[in-house]
Amino acid sequence: MIYRSKAPLRIGLAGGGTDVSPYSDLYGGAILNATISLYANATIEPLADNKIIIEALDRNEKLESDWVSALPIDGTLDLLKGVYNRIQKDYGARQQGFRLSTFVDAPAGSGLGTSSTLVVAIIGAFSEMLRLPLGEYDMAHYAYDIERNDLKLAGGRQDQYAATFGGVNFMEFYADDKVIVNPLRVKEEHLFELENNLVLYYTSTSRESAEIIKKQSKNVTDNKEKSIEAMHQLKQQAQRMKEALLKGKLNEIGEILDYGFQQKRQMAEGISNPLMEEIYESAKKAGATGGKISGAGGGGFMIFYCPGNTKYNVKAALEKFGGQSRNYLFTQHGLKTWTI
């Protein structure tokens, strides 16, 4: 038997950062995101001997070990180890060797939720193998708990829920890990137009999102008014984006994105930098009406809303920066698992 899973990465469209504690605990957060046809993939193959082999094929990293109930968290393949350790602790999988292989369609640190989506995919593969009774909310919270509590990784909560639910969602975040996922029934022609007009651009740089998120969280803890007010405005941006998509006011999306771009820079130091500012201004001069830095910021992907046929001029204008535009489609499904 071979057990497989795939979970979609996501584009954050509005409200980014308001899903991070302590802001979401104190004020409530709101985010609008959509999953795309780039995936985190996981495969588990049982082995005849009592060996554990874990490998990240996209990163060319591999580890072999005799069977143990807990693998050391030491900076190498920790996401894979962390899920295995927690599954063993909670469900006590039988002592049998296996190979766990993963592959992610976008680089780590790129701002599309790669790490959290990979955790969801790995949980999905183990869940398929062990027939674990986990629904979407259970799976997402389990992934969040492993990352934040077991592995002590700083971050928000939107990525795990996007990966499990899939589609276009308006998400609300509150204290005590309460999350409400509201799937949006966006008309097909509006989604097609958004997909046509939204350029996904990889800057060919990555960043350590945890450090930016720690600064953002500290600004809230220290009651930095400028940072907190920016988060309030981003939460309102998510409401505006939801209304624009549901009512088909696509001509407003660029402006809404641009407003969020201005606000997000106020949340914490390091979210933007001179290169990203230059890329952003070049895209706007070429016809984009707005855009944003994906994820925590500091590098990775950026998105630009390009009405009409301006996306071709925008892509051409961005070529000089050495990055690349990535093709994608919006997806309506979240985590999928199957057995061969």
Active site residues: 159
Q: Tokens at residue 326, please? A: 């990535």
- Answer yes or no: are the C-beta atoms of 270 and 215 closer than 8 Å: yes
- CB contact set of 187 (below 8 Å; sequence gap of 6+): 248
- Give 266's Cβ-side CA count (13 Å radius): 17
- H-helix segments, the chain: 23-27, 78-91, 114-130, 136-145, 158-165, 188-197, 209-221, 225-247, 253-264, 274-285, 311-318
Query: What contacts 119, CB < 8 A, 6 or more positions away?
Result: 79, 82, 83, 143, 146, 147, 160
Which of helix, strand or coil describes residue 307? Answer: coil
User: How does DSSP classify residue 175?
Assistant: S
